[in-house]
Amino acid sequence: MKKWIFLICLLFSCESWIAARSHTDGDTLTQIFPDIEAVRLAVQNPESPCFYPRLIARYMQRDTTLTTEEYRYLYLGYSFQDDYDPYRVSSYEMSLDTLYRRNDLTAAECEKLIRYAGQVLADNPFDLRRMAVLVYANTMLGNHAEVNFWQTRIHHLVDAILSTGDGRTPETAWYVIEPVHAYDILNTLGVVAEAYEFEPPCYDYIQVYDLIGNARGFYFNVSRILEEYQRKFGTE
């Protein structure tokens, strides 16, 4: 548990910067409440600049010119792809977690962590926590270029999520396409989840406490997760 807490801190080493961008009067992150149907049409249209096969190809090729808007289409658009599964567990997850829990990892073990995390991301290209593992392992190995790449990618994805709303009301809830991403976003804000409540038809409300004990809460739109669950398992 201690290492995971450290990992979250490392993952969002710029948490104050992210929080400032999304929750202060000097906000520079443009918030666009997404039209999910418009996103679906755009990512499925070969004539669209956001046609998903082209966007994901650039993403997988580590294109550093992708904009926040393109990251938003990548992130939300993934939920309309055939291989989208918000509950997927990679066969490499257990091996990765078991290795990561060890103390004083050797260089060889860090290299193995990188391989495992890469395999998980091959199954789920938006797994923020496995990207954080890559930040950690590459930090231990002194691979500064890789650390910078993965930290930058994490920040772009967090920005993409934060740009979907402000989390203050159901109408302005942040969109997430995986349940764990709500908690990742809370970690970026430096708050601790205290209680969870589902508000129909498609909102998770999570009450949190900040570091000085102040209580508040944030809304997350989980409509795409629910739709996929219903598609696969029915409505019961």
**How far is 93 from 72, CA to CA, in rounded Å?**
26
Mean pLDDT of 50-75: 97
Share the mean pLDDT of the chain.
87
Question: 197 - beta bridge partners?
Answer: 205
- Reported as a pLDDT band with limits 50, 70 and 90, residue 2 is very low
Task: Find tokens 């929080």 and name the residue.
Answer: 19
* In the chain, % of residues over pLDDT 90: 69
Does this model's pTM top 0.85? My answer is yes
Amino acid 143: pLDDT: 97
Q: What's the length of the chain?
A: 236
- Reported as a pLDDT band with limits 50, 70 and 90, residue 232 is confident
Amino acid 107: pLDDT: 97
**How far is 146 from 53, CA to CA, in rounded Å?**
25
Q: Are 114 and 96 in contact (CB under 8 A)?
A: no
Q: Are 155 and 14 in contact (CB under 8 A)?
A: yes
Listed in sequence order, the DSSP H helices in 31-127 are 36-44, 52-60, 68-77, 93-100, 107-123
Q: Are 129 and 7 in contact (CB under 8 A)?
A: yes
Amino acid 24: pLDDT: 35
Q: And the tokens for 118?
A: 């890469």
Q: State CA 116 to chain mean position distance.
A: 18
- Nearest alpha-carbon partner for 75 in 154, 151, 161: 161
- Reported as a pLDDT band with limits 50, 70 and 90, residue 20 is very low
Sheet holding 192-199, edge to edge: 174-175, 215-221, 203-209, 192-199
pLDDT over threshold 90, residue 215: no
**How far is 7 from 154, CA to CA, in rounded Å?**
13
Q: What is the DSSP string of 141-156?
A: HT-HHHHHHHHHHHHH
Residue type, 59: Y
**How far is 4 from 11, CA to CA, in rounded Å?**
10
Cα–Cα distances in Å, from 111 out to 4, 38, 149? 18, 41, 17
